[in-house]
Structures are given as structure tokens and as C-alpha cells.
Structure 1
Amino acid sequence: MGYRLIALDVDGTIRSGSNPIAERTRRAIDAARESGAVVTLATGRAYRSAIVNSAALDIDVPISTSQGAYIADPVSGEVFRHCPLTGEMALVTLDKLQEHIGPDDSGTQVVAYYPGIMYVDRMSQWAASYGQRTEIEVRLVSNLREVASEGLTRIVAVGDDADIEALERDIRPLLSMSVLVMRSLPYFCEILHPRGGKEDALGWMCERFGIARSETIAFGNGYNDVQMLEWAGLGIAVGDAVPEALAAADSVAPPFDEHGVAQVLEELLAKGLIG
């Protein structure tokens, strides 16, 4: 018996920037699927942004988006799992973020995500550009506390790398007992429901498809992939991953620009270890 479930992070793992997914990677994923494996995405992207990538790979099984907080069918849109922040979680998070950031800090912006919507309390250049790139509606409100009880998928602080690193370090001890705090990108600090991580989504996938944890492979490169790489039967970090992901992985693939994911899948397929 080989590996039967393959979970793929997107950005920095199977694609980068505006570049499309490489043909070699597509072929390797197709071959893994033809061998009987379930191939899915486990991405920090919001659902509407993620389905562009699932469509490019012809994925028709549930995908994990917004880390692991939102699992849905990439074709029909049917939602299978949503772990939103409670109203209390959201209010406490917003208060702690505001205390840390301060009213005069215009360089860091806090935004709140609801499926298909990003709420902002000011329409910054970054927010407007984000909406255009991702096709997510950016909705302006006078205060994010107004939407705290809406069932927010996540709250995110966006800013300079150094500021966000410091923010994560400072607020983690204040919030981590009740919510999940992580940097998904150097300039993104996310707060989610405590069961909103990629590892929880991978566990859900295993239950849905009747696959053992030991039969899973996870590929990733970022801070938000660490727990998933630790949880999977075989956690593989691409060679240019952040140090935390490299340390968490069971194995390290070649770097992204050397088609690391494709190389590993090709090797496992050649050994009959997939499907």
C-alpha cells in the first residue's frame, strides 16, 4: 500500500507569483491521481483565489482554503467544513491587535475575512489591489467590530515584514490559548479558530476518504505549513522553504524553481509508492 492522499500548498510550493503551475508539475500530479491517489490543495488562499489553482490541476475533490478553516468543493462551491471565529474570539482579537498596533500606525492594516468578502475599515492601496487580484469583494465598514459576530473565517494583520514578525511574537502569548496565531507570509499575521490549521483540514480529508494518517503526503514551504508537515505521514518541504518548515519536514525536496514537487512525485511513482 502506498500514499493515498497528497496535500499541496500552493504559493512557493507548486507556483510562484503570477507564473502558472509548471507543466512538469501538472504531469506528475496527473500521474499520481491516475495511480489512485487523492490530490488536493491545502492553501492559505481564500476560496475564490484558490479555485483558480484547483481548476488548473483538474482537482474535483474538496480543497482546504484559508489555511484549514474553510473546506469546499472547488467546482460546485459546496461547503463541507467552516471553522469561523466566534464573536468573542473576534472581539478579543481585534482589541489585542489594536492595543499592539496603536491608532497612529498607518503602516499596518487589520482586515477580516468572511467567505467571499474581505472587510476593511479603510480602503488602502493594498486592500484595493488585493481585491482586484483575487476577485474577492472588499467591503468598507466604519469599524471591524461591527462584523465580529458574522462568523469570520480569519482576521489578518498586514504590514512590513519586521512589524508583522514583532506583532506575531507579541500577541501570540496573549491569544494562543483561545485562537490560532500564525504568520502565513512574512507580511501576514493571521488569527483563526483553534481548529483552523492545515493539519486539522488534512485530518478531515483522511476521515472523508477513509485514508490513514500514515498514507498521507503533504508538501509545503511556509510558516503556515509547519503543523501540516509534522502531522502528515510524509511531510516534504521544498528546498527553499522557511527554516521552520525545513525543520518540521520528514524530507526536503529540491527547490521550487527545480520543480521539487514534481521530482519527488516522479520518484515515488517510479517506486510504486503512490496509490
Structure 2
Amino acid sequence: MSYKIVFFDIDGTLVNEEKEIPADTVAAIRELKERGVEPVIATGRAPYFIKPLAERLGIESFVCLNGGYVVYKGEPLYKHTIEKNALEKLVALAARHGHGLVFEGEHTFCADREEHPFITESVLSLKVELPAYNPDFWRTADIFQVFLHCESKDEPLYEALKTDFTLIRWHPYAMDVLPAGGSKARGIAAMLEKLGYTASDAVAFGDGLNDKEMLAYVGFGVAMGNSNPELLPYADFVTTHVDEQGIRNGLIEAGLLPVYSA
């Protein structure tokens, strides 16, 4: 199978625990482009979090906010926002339990608390700046995703909201809150349709719980060696660790790079 496009998660896939891109990953992406195969970022991160990384890798297209915001070569082509009435329910319930929220819009993100230890710890783990304080941001801006800050023991408190949202844990203190049915796969499907490709034309790499749908959807799904164990059943291949040429070895297995690539 000759694949035409490859989607890459960021955290734990393109970057390691220190949020650094391994040198061999940079080289592998460059070689992939030289062979005429397009690399695309597919991440839970917002577009304003990924610009330096995308520039370093020479990647112009991305599926951001867990499939809610899709850009191809600088042009937005798909947006999936959260309904205001659903947000109102989330805001009320989180306030009742003292759980901080961070609202992610198209151009910036804002928190509903000026200071919250869970917000500080989870957001800084991404090596990005802390959000501005604006508890009413969700009322006036299009919101694509929310960080809900609570521990896993508190997740049952939000069970009633699962008809409105998809909730995915990404940090001990934080979950992604997406529109119901939202996923990276949904955003990828929008891009493939625009390009005239099918899912079988695509490869995807990931390591986290928000990568399940993406790896299952594409023609060849690659889980990193450092993946959450729950992701592995969704992959066609498990490559090596992000710091052990995981990207290169996955691309070799997909037939997109030669075994002895320089």
C-alpha cells in the first residue's frame, strides 16, 4: 500500500517527556516530505500552542483541538464548536464542585479561575503560558474544547453530561471536554475529504487515549512504544519509544522510509 498522508500526534509522539523533538524525528519528517508524502499534525492542543513545533518540522497543516479545528496549508477547512447550552451545563456543574475550567477558542484560551493549582500544574506540563482569566469567555467566543480540572475519582460527577460531551483524561488533574462525538478521526475525515483521499490512504501515529479513534480510522495506525496500554489494541503496529527512533521505525514499517535511511 502506498500511503499519501501521515498524521502525527504531538505529546509523547513528536515530542518526548521534556517536550523536545528528537533529532531523528526531525530528520525522518524531512525525509518523508522529500518522498512526496505529506505530514500533518493531529493533536489535542490548540493551534496557538503548536506554531514553533510546526515551523521547525516544516508542517503547514494540522488537525487541532482533538479534531475540532482543521487547517490545510494555512486555510481553515473545518470547525466543530461546543454548543452554548451544553457549556452552560458544564460551567454550572464545575462551579458546584469547585473544579476549574479552561476554555479553548480559535485564537486564545481563558480560565474561569484566577488561581487554581490543578490548572497551573496541568497547563504548565504542556510547556505553554498559563491562560488569561476571563470566566465569561465561553459566552462570547466559539469554544472548541474545555479543560476540566478534577481527579479521576470525581469523574462520575459528570456522567450526566456525556450526552453533550466526550471526556478524555490527559493529565492526573485534567480532562479534555469535546463536543459529543468529537475526535481526531472526525477532523482527519474532513481533511481527507477535502484532499480527495480515503482513510486507507492515511497513516497515523499516537500514544494517548485521545488517539484511539484516529488509529482505528486510518489505513495504518501506529502506537508509540511509550503509549498508554489502552491504546495498543487500536494500533496496527507498535513502534519503539519516542526517544528510540519511534517515528522512523513506524514509517519504515508502513513502507514510507527505507530501512537504511540516512
**Residue of structure 2 equivalent to 1:97:** 94
Aligned residue identity for 1:248: Y
Q: Equivalences for 1:117-128 in 2 at 5 Å? A: 117-124=108-115
For the residues of structure 2 that align with 1:203 and 1:168, how far apart are their CA atoms? 29
The one-letter code sitting in structure 2 at the alignment partner of 1:113 is E
1:149, 1:269 → 2: CA distance? Answer: 45
Q: Please give the alpha-carbon distance, in whole angstroms, between the structure 1 residues aligned to 2:111 and 2:82.
A: 17
What SS is found at the alignment partner of 2:221? strand
Q: Give the distance between the partners of 1:116 and 1:17, measured in 2 at CA.
A: 26
| Deviation of 1:116 (Å) | 2.5
Which residue of the partner structure matches residue 257 of structure 1?
243
Which of 182, 192, 212 lines up with 1:196 in the alignment? 182
More deviation, 193-202/220-229: 193-202
Separation of aligned partners in 1, 2:127 and 2:239: 30
* TM-score, structure 2 normalization: 0.86
Q: How far apart in 2 are the matches of 1:123 and 1:73?
A: 35
Tell me, which stretches of 5 or more residues in structure 2 are unaligned?
none
Q: Does 1:58 align with 2:51?
A: no
C-alpha deviations, 1:154-183, integer Å up to 9, x for none? 121135xxx1x2333542x31222222212
Q: Is the 8 A contact 1:83 1:195 kept in 2?
A: no
Mark the CA change 1:50 to 1:196 in structure 2 (over 3 Å): closer, same or farther: farther
Q: Which residue of 1 aligns with 2:85?
A: 88
- For structure 1, the residue ranges without an aligned partner over 5 or more in a row are none
Asked if 2 retains the 8 angstrom alpha-carbon contact of 1:230 and 1:248, the reply is yes
CA change 1:266–1:72 in 2 (3 A) is same
% same residue: 24
* Corresponding residue for residue 3 of structure 1: 3
Corresponding residue of 1:139: 132
CA gap of 1:70–1:211, structure 2 versus 1, over 3 A, is same
Provide the aligned length of Structure 1 versus Structure 2: 255
In the other structure, the counterpart of 1:177 is 163
**More divergent stretch after superposition (182-191 vs 51-60):** 182-191
CA gap 1:224/1:19 in 2 versus in 1, 3 angstroms: closer
2:6 and 2:91 map into 1 onto residues whose CA distance is: 35
Alignment CA distance shift 1:149-1:156 (3 Å): same
1:105-156: CA deviation from partner (whole Å, max 9, x where unpaired)? xxx42221112222222222665784895357x3323x44x63353211121
2:200 is the alignment partner of 1:214:
yes
Preserved contact between residue 239 and residue 246 of structure 2 (Cα < 8 Å): yes
Structure 2 residue matching 1:201: 3-state secondary structure = helix
Q: CA deviation at 1:8?
A: 0.2
Task: From the superposition, tell whether residues 243 and 109 of structure 1 become closer, same or farther in structure 2 (CA, over 3 Å).
Answer: same
- Residues 168 and 189, structure 1, Cα contact 8 Å, conserved in 2: no
Residues 51-60 or 122-131, more deviating: 122-131
Write out per-residue CA displacement over residues 28-49 of structure 1, whole angstroms, 9 at most, x where no aligned residue. 2222222221210001111111
